[in-house]
A and B are shown apart, each in its own frame.
Chain A
Amino acid sequence: AQSVSQHNHHVILSEAASLELGCNYSYGGTVNLFWYVQYPGQHLQLLLKYFSGDPLVKGIKGFEAEFIKSKFSFNLRKPSVQWSDTAEYFCAVNAPTGRRALTFGSGTRLQVQP
């Protein structure tokens, strides 16, 4: 069975600081990887996704993530955060075989202080 771990539960940064949120998954085969964001009072939105090809993927609002197969990781990064990035971030995995639905991590709450 697939599982996802997000080790940072709550991160507090100042504006302009760099961000890296960790995501590790447990699954031996090919996976598709996603990062979703939930801004306060809004619905979950897709930030970026990885299926194949270049392991460095770019998403909306300046976010990017790097897939490192040997480490089973898909960490989210942003060089310079803004106050508007305050939100909860979820990593998710979906494998082409087995259950046909996303498995989510427990989420990381990011608080950016002005």
Chain B
Amino acid sequence: DGGITQSPKYLFRKEGQNVTLSCEQNLNHDAMYWYRQDPGQGLRLIYYSQIVNDFQKGDIAEGYSVSREKKESFPLTVTSAQKNPTAFYLCASSASTRSNQPQHFGDGTRLSIL
């Protein structure tokens, strides 16, 4: 059953700590995305990757980092520089970054600060 798997479902971060959110897809999609969802603000783009070993900053990339070493994996690291990391994080993928390609979403990771 193809899809996107995000883990963990819930994550807690201590002050000054980096944490990494996992995103794996078995859809054979080239493009992958990370969004942050806050109440009343919809989804905002953090980073996206069109292909392996390539990624681009989105609207709110500060305090985050990503890597794309494998086609199926696009982990997101929330660094200590991100001062307000409490949010719901969604990973998505699409066959390509062509604008008519719909995105498929994972179930999300909810990050909270201890």
Q: Which A residues form the contact surface with B (CB < 8 A)?
A: 4, 6, 9, 31-32, 34, 36, 42-46, 49, 51, 90, 94-96, 99-107
Contacts between chains A and B (CB distance < 8 A), count: 63
Whether A100 and B43, one on each chain, are in contact in the complex, defined by CB atoms closer than 8 angstroms, is no
How would you classify the secondary structure of chain A's contact residues: helix, strand, loop or mixed? loop
Does B105 touch A at the CB level, under 8 Å?
yes
Known: A43-B107, A49-B102, A51-B100. Contact between A100 and B50, CB under 8 A?
A: yes
Contacts of B31 in A (CB 8 A): 100
* Distance in angstroms between the alpha carbons of A65 and B52 in the assembled complex: 35
* Distance in angstroms between the alpha carbons of A105 and B107 in the assembled complex: 19
Cβ-neighbour of B41 out of A32, A99, A101, A106 (below 8 A): A106
Interface residues of B in 71-114 (CB under 8 A from A): 90, 92, 97-100, 102-108
* Distance in angstroms between the alpha carbons of A30 and B40 in the assembled complex: 27
| Minimum CB–CB distance for A48 against chain B, Å | 10
Can you list 9 A-B pairs with a CB-CB distance of less than 8 A? A43-B105, A43-B106, A43-B108, A94-B99, A99-B58, A101-B58, A102-B33, A104-B42, A106-B41
* Distance in angstroms between the alpha carbons of A43 and B106 in the assembled complex: 6
Closest to B40 in A: A106
